[in-house]
């Protein structure tokens, strides 16, 4: 009986403290790709950096649309995401990259659920955004920075070609590319998911251009199936069969072996989107929050590829070197 008398006040005090705490706000996050994809890893780091210390309950959902690309798969995963969102009842929905924007965020346009997008390569108007409940962060590939970097490394570059997989990420970038006034001549812009066509283009360009621009190459397929090839294999073939410098739009291309990249980090996208979410949770309306286009890009150079191509890396360029 004495034990009960001692413990009961403690339990009562603990329950009072707990009852006084506000309930955690709920945020549901939909990623277009898969948890192991380096871009999604970086986006998550950005989210976690900003949300650290805040009373939030997060649920994450991955659509896995880099490895599986059919419309049927995307629709099935969108349906699963929407069902999970309905059950979770979030205060804010976050969606990352174009497939989540297309297949999930558009479903909530005009609803009462606040939505924050990030990693969007198409212009927001492509999806009918912004709306009263939707705002976010665009990911404009720094095309001029890409060209500037490769011409600083290789001043003789005058004519280039661009190649990518045929995905929403690349399609949004291709639209912008053709509208820019760049300092080089563009021979051709190719988007393909056919590995044989990829190889044929890389081979044909060897005597036609001075450098090759690379966007994403994550949805390339060989002749055997519908599942995307490991991207590293696409890059391995490319660097083994090309004598031309590559300038890419993502750091993972340089890590896979390409010469250089000017890119906007995924962590930057995650942070900017998470900051918008906190503003909404503090009472701001999405309609009053302007869409963000982070201006900063990061430059990275592959020293081993430079050595292989016989390129001397200048000492006065602002970049990060990987071995």
Residue extents of the structural domains in the chain: 24-139+266-288, 143-263+298-322
Phi, psi dihedrals of residue 145, rounded to the nearest 5°: -65, -40
pLDDT, position 225: 67
Inter-residue contact 320 to 149 (CB < 8 Å):
no
**What residues pair up with 159 in beta bridges, in sequence order?**
185
Task: Report the alpha-carbon distance of residue 118 to residue 270 in Å, rounded.
Answer: 7
Residue 4 has what pLDDT? 41
DSSP 287: G
Divide the 323 residues of the chain into consecutive groups of 10 and give the mean pLDDT of each group.
45 49 92 94 97 97 94 97 98 97 97 97 93 95 93 96 88 74 91 94 97 93 80 95 96 95 94 98 97 90 96 85 84
DSSP letter at 132 equals: T
Map residue 247 onto helix, strand or coil. Answer: strand
* Burial tier of 17 (Cβ tally within 10 Å: 0-12, 13-18, 19+): exposed
Please give the CATH topology (third level) of the domain spanning 24-139+266-288.
Answer: Rossmann fold (3.40.50)
Token pair for 154: 């290789």
pLDDT score of 21: 67
For residue 125 the two structure tokens come to 């108007």
What's residue 223's pLDDT?
73
Q: Please give the Cα distance from 124 to 122 (Å, whole number).
A: 6
* pLDDT for position 170: 76
CA distance 223 to 212: 24
Indicate yes or no: pTM above 0.75: yes
Pairing label, strands 56-62, 25-31: parallel
- Could you tell me if 75 and 104 are in contact, meaning their C-beta atoms sit under 8 angstroms apart? no
Residue 212 β-bridge partners: 161, 246
Q: What is the pLDDT of residue 5?
A: 44
CB 214 within 8 A of CB 160: no
Q: Which two tokens stand for residue 263?
A: 């890119």
Number of other CB atoms surrounding residue 171 within 10 Å: 17
Tokens 């297949």 map to which residue? 103
Provide the token pair at 153: 């490394």
**Can you give the pLDDT at residue 63?**
98
Residue 77 phi/psi, 5-degree rounding, is -70, -35
Q: Quick one: pLDDT at residue 294?
A: 87
In this structure, which topology does domain 143-263+298-322 adopt according to CATH? Rossmann fold (3.40.50)
Asked if 247 contacts 261 with a C-beta cutoff of 8 angstroms, the reply is yes
**Are 24-139+266-288 and 143-263+298-322 equal in CATH topology?**
yes
**Site of tokens 């998470």:** 274
């Amino acid at each position: 009986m004495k034990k009960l008398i001692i413990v009961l006040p403690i339990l009562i005090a603990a329950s009072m403290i707990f009852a006084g705490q506000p309930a955690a706000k709920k945020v549901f996050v939909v990623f277009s790709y898969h948890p192991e994809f380096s871009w999604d890893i970086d986006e998550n780091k950005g989210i976690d950096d900003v949300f650290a210390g805040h009373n939030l309950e997060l649920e994450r959902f991955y659509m896995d649309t880099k490895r599986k690309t059919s419309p049927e798969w995307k629709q099935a995963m969108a349906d699963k995401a929407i069902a999970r969102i309905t059950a979770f009842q979030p205060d804010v929905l976050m969606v990352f990259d174009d497939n989540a924007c297309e297949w999930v965020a558009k479903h909530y346009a005009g609803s009462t659920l606040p939505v924050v997008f990030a990693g969007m390569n198409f212009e927001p108007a492509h999806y009918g955004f912004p709306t009263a409940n939707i705002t976010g962060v665009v990911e404009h590939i720094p095309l001029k920075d890409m060209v500037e970097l490769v011409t600083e490394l290789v001043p003789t570059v005058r004519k280039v070609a661009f190649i990518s997989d045929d995905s929403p990420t690349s399609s949004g970038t291709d639209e912008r590319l053709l509208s820019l006034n760049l300092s080089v001549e563009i021979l051709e812009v190719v988007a393909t998911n056919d590995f044989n066509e990829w190889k044929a283009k890389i081979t044909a360009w060897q005597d036609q251009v001075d450098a090759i621009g690379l966007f994403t190459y994550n949805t390339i397929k060989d002749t055997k199936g519908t599942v995307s090839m490991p991207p590293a294999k696409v890059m391995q073939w490319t660097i083994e069969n090309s004598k031309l410098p590559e300038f890419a739009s993502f750091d993972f291309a340089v890590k896979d072996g390409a010469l250089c990249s000017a890119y906007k980090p995924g962590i930057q996208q995650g942070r900017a989107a998470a900051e918008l979410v906190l503003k909404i949770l503090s009472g701001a309306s999405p309609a009053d929050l302007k869409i963000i286009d982070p201006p900063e890009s990061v430059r990275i150079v592959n020293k081993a590829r430079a050595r292989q191509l016989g390129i001397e890396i200048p000492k006065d360029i602002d970049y990060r070197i990987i071995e």
